[in-house]
Chains A and B, each alone.
Chain A
Amino acid sequence: AQSVTQPDIHITVSEGASLELRCNYSYGATPYLFWYVQSPGQGLQLLLKYFSGDTLVQGIKGFEAEFKRSQSSFNLRKPSVHWSDAAEYFCAVGFPTSGTYKYIFGTGTRLKVLA
């Protein structure tokens, strides 16, 4: 069965420090991978996605993620965190079903940024 694991429930970093959020997936075929961010009172917003090609993908707000098939991972990174990055981050995998695609989300990682 398809699944997504985000091992870190909470992460705290200082402003200006680098960030890596972990995501592992379980899916037998080529995964379609996503990272979303959810700020308080806001809907989920897409940061980036991976479908194929270059395994290092760039997203919005200075985020990037690297797909590693051998590790079944799709970790999100940012070289220098800003206070406005404090939010909850969700990794998701999409897979084909019933003529369309279905999406499974991880449990999320809540990021706290220290001034």
Chain B
Amino acid sequence: DTGVSQNPRHKITKRGQNVTFRCDPISEHNRLYWYRQTLGQGPEFLTYFQNEAQLEKSRLLSDRFSAERPKGSFSTLEIQRTEQGDSAMYLCASIPRRDRGLGEQYFGPGTRLTVT
């Protein structure tokens, strides 16, 4: 059990560029969540996957955002045409299959995005 990993840890990009983040959950964790956290706020739900299926997306996730989880393993979150308001910490969390979605979320360290 090596924990949830996220790459890159930091990303600085210019407004209008596209960025992609990756999350590798703990092996055999079938549920994966993406959150956004801004300064002074708690994590805000963006989307989640059960295996490879994306089951729900927050209204925070505009059409510039897309997430995938091919083969139900790692997941990617892409932001197209970034805006300064996208600057935030993007967190990934996973939950073991045995918990059936209700249980401890194992969080990664996050990817901090800065849009200049």
Contacts and interface: CB of A to CB of B under 8 A. Distances in A.
Q: Are chains A and B native binding partners rather than an unrelated pairing?
A: yes
A105 B56 contact: no
A99 B91 CA distance: 22
B41 A51 contact: no
Contact of B109 (A42, A51, A90, A104): A42
Interface residues of A, number: 30
A41 B10 CA distance: 11
Contact of A102 (B3, B48, B107): B48
B107 A44 contact: yes
Given A43-B109, A44-B107, A100-B55, A107 B41 contact: yes
Chain B interface: which size bin? 20 to 34
Interface of A is mostly: strand
A46 B104 contact: yes
B38 to A, nearest CB: 10
B72 interface: no
Contacts of B93: 44
B22 interface: no
A43 B42 contact: no
Interface string A94-109: 1011111111111110
A29 B76 CA distance: 34
B82 to A, nearest CB: 24
Interface in B4-23: 4
Closest 9 CB pairs of A and B: A105-B42, A100-B101, A43-B107, A44-B107, A101-B101, A46-B104, A101-B102, A105-B43, A43-B109
